[in-house]
Amino acid sequence: MNTAIFGSLTDQHLLQFGKIIQLFARYELLMQQVMATVSGADPAAILLLTRGLDFSAKRTALLDLLYHGTIPLDQYDRINAFLMVPHTLTPLRNDIAHAGWISDTFSSWIQPDWILQLPPSVRPLRDASGSSGAHFIEREQDKTAYTLDGLDQIVESLATNCQDLSGYLCEIGLIRAQGEILAAHA
């Protein structure tokens, strides 16, 4: 791997980043399928209408559409709760897509390594200038660092929640099961 480009990121970091991005794409597809069902629109039309929206905008559009429709409040609340999991991780998703990453060495504290045995972590650096220049600085208010174990847990949480959301949406009739979708297009 080219360390001049990727720095301290390992193949494992990049694999977890890819999984997180792919899971967000799956959430977005689920939301678009529900929008098509609730609105009675052609799924392709919904995909075209929402393709320029990011996750947060699609989430807002879906929740507004569900609120406007005749969906029972308990179903609305449950879907909203499922979507809170990726919603709270949107800053991480955005950092993966739009920030450079470095090893976490910002701490001024020192301790013998046997006390905590902390795993190595990485943290995002953001271009504060708003340009595509190479002047990356850290924002002091969010000193978030991620370990590989932490990224593994995030991926597992997103994957499990996405699968549970998909099952729930099938159960209440807002999407068809994957096999049914494939059979309908055959």
Residue 145 near residue 104, CB atoms below 8 Å: yes
Contact in structure between 159 and 21 (CB atoms under 8 Å) = no
pLDDT mean over 125-153: 63
Q: Is the pTM of this model over 0.95?
A: no
CB 150 within 8 A of CB 92: no
pLDDT confidence of residue 107: 46
pLDDT the model gives residue 119? 64
Q: Is 95 helix (H, G, I), strand (E, B) or coil?
A: helix
Under the banding of pLDDT at 50, 70 and 90, the label for residue 106 is: low
What residue type is 87 in one-letter code?
H
Q: Where are the beta strands (DSSP E) in 54-106?
A: 100-103
Report the alpha-carbon distance of residue 98 to residue 47 in Å, rounded: 24
The residues facing 136 across adjacent strands are 127
Question: CA 23, CA 93: separation in Å to the nearest integer?
Answer: 10
**43-50 vs 11-39: helix axis angle to the nearest 10?**
120
Structure letter (DSSP) for residue 120: P
Q: How do residues 7-18 score in pLDDT, each as one tens digit?
A: 778 899 899 999
Could you give the 3-state DSSP secondary structure of residue 147? strand
pLDDT attached to residue 110: 38
pLDDT at 113: 45
Angle value at C-alpha 57, between 91 and 85, nearest 5 degrees: 50
Token pair recorded at residue 163? 């699968």
Helices first, then strands: H and E counts in the chain: 9, 4
Percent of the chain with pLDDT over 90: 56
Residue 138 has pLDDT above 50, yes or no: no
Query: pLDDT tens-digit profile of 155-184?
Result: 999 999 999 999 999 999 999 876 444 344
Q: Return the pLDDT at 181.
A: 43
User: How confident is the model over 143-147, as a mean pLDDT?
Assistant: 75
In the chain, the amino acid numbered 43 is: P
Q: Which residues, in sequence order, are CB contacts of 152 under 8 Å at separation 6+? A: 16
